[in-house]
Chain A
Amino acid sequence: MAKPKVAFYWCASCGGCEEAVVDLAEDILTVTDAVDIVLWPVALDFKKKDVEAMQDNEIAVSFINGAIRTSEQEEMVNLLRKKSGLVVAFGSCAHIGGIPGLANFSNREEIFDYVYTKTPSTMNPAKTTPQTNTVVDGYELEIPEFYNTVKTLDQTIDVDYYLPGCAPPLDLIMNAVMAILKGELPEKGAVLAPDKSLCDTCPRNDSKPEKLMMSEIKRPHTVEMDPEKCFLAEGVICLGPATRSGCGERCINANMPCRGCFGPVKGVSDFGAKSLSAIASIMGIEGEEKMTDEDIQKLVDQIADPAGLFYMYSLPSSLLRRKVMK
């Protein structure tokens, strides 16, 4: 019997998701024994035309990482969608927008202006910026269009499953691959990770006091953090209460608070709004009835950049999707 065909593709991403696949180490042999990899730009020399030559749905599953930022990425994922039975959004950027999604605090014009004229190492008196179409010596050049707004994969094509994380951890990748090979998949649209919150599985959960309160907000680099204690109990914002579990508590074990790369727990449509709500509720609980509006403003102002903090990984998948530009 012919082995099922699998494709890996990357869009607006850092390469960490590719690394995660490589990190499967000898496990990858189990995978390559069972499947034929038909596209993997980082490692194998297949081209777009090879995919174009395939039948519709000929690829059993495409794992696509990265957010969608250019017309080329949009074209490639549409092609892969057509040729694949299943599409898995692989990693935070494809799932919820990820770090590249922070570009939605800005737009194309601002980004081009900064990158091509304002950076200290740039000399560009003519203020040349990339153009989709340019004529040079009578030849027309076309490069992919750089979109104004970064999108998630499912805002671009239909997605069957999501593998969350920056990058997805090895056990979840292997579980997903095995479930696909055995045909034991959950309902369409599922996130292939536990439905619990990170706090539920966090080793520091036991040290969480009965009544959590933060009378002062401390930024991680300003405190020496106790490696056993819940961050919130120390006044350091941790987004574990709103974040889906399954990462293996990677940041927590490195003594850093969670920033939500796994996205929200099931049923939440806006990760930032939910985490804001969770954090605001425990701020200054002790004596809250005596606090004046000014006291509360002062407490809140200790969070220097709430939008950047609460939407660090998820701005494109939020309700607003981007900053409202003037």
Chain B
Amino acid sequence: MFKVKDLKFRYPKSDVCAVNGVDFEITDGEIFGFLGPSGAGKTTTQRLLIKLLKGYEGEVLYQGKPLTEYGDDFYQDIGVSFEMPISFSKLTALENLEFFKRLYKNTVDVEPLLKRVGLWEDRHKKAGEYSKGMKIRLNFVRALINKPKILFLDEPTNGIDPVNAQIMKDMIREFRDEGGTVFLTSHIMSDVDELCDRVAFIVNGKLQEEDTPRNLKLKYGKRIVKVEYRENGDLVTKEFSMEAIKEPEFHELLRTKDIETIHSGETTLQDIFIKVTGVALHG
């Protein structure tokens, strides 16, 4: 659906490239995710793909044709949910949606969508009186209003409570299952892990790894046992691979030390992110 080659972009008045030579492909019917810390260039990449930012280097093809050759009808196919709340504050949620709906050829009935995201009761409330989480859910409905073929979701669950985040994730999966394609960005590991068919790590405008979450775990992950114990008053942590727990060192430890905790675990996508990029997702 989208093919991106050596994409570079520098904001005017900035001397570093916010996106610095990225290559990737979004195939039909998948959820493709960008995982990276704040400032990595996720939003910028999204703005480039939806033609909000112009003047990039490199190549972006949408359905085989350069993005620059598309006119405004390109947007009939596209649904965008921005990371910041977007709505006319003095209009009700429903009035907001009705206005945007009139701009498209194909549209959906908003009632089931609003009911699903829990905003139907508050549909006549002014958007300005919505909480941050409600505004973000309204953004999401706005993105779906034109029956898009591809959805762009920038930090979709950011600022939403866990219950509504789960509903939204279900809706994103259903959109994919009905043939839609999704490009999403997030700095939240679990979003990407649960949702994405493929994920790319982005740091400082560059991609580092790109694969399915499962393959990444197989490639970088290890199953381990972590032991915490006291030695001369200090807390000591030791990790053993599943093979190593058969060795005498592990048994010796259990027998001789004051063990406080023993945990077995798998490497999370978060650990893998840090291992691959050398950068923490938060902070």
Q: Do A and B bind each other?
A: no
Interface set of A (CB-CB < 8 Å, partner B): none
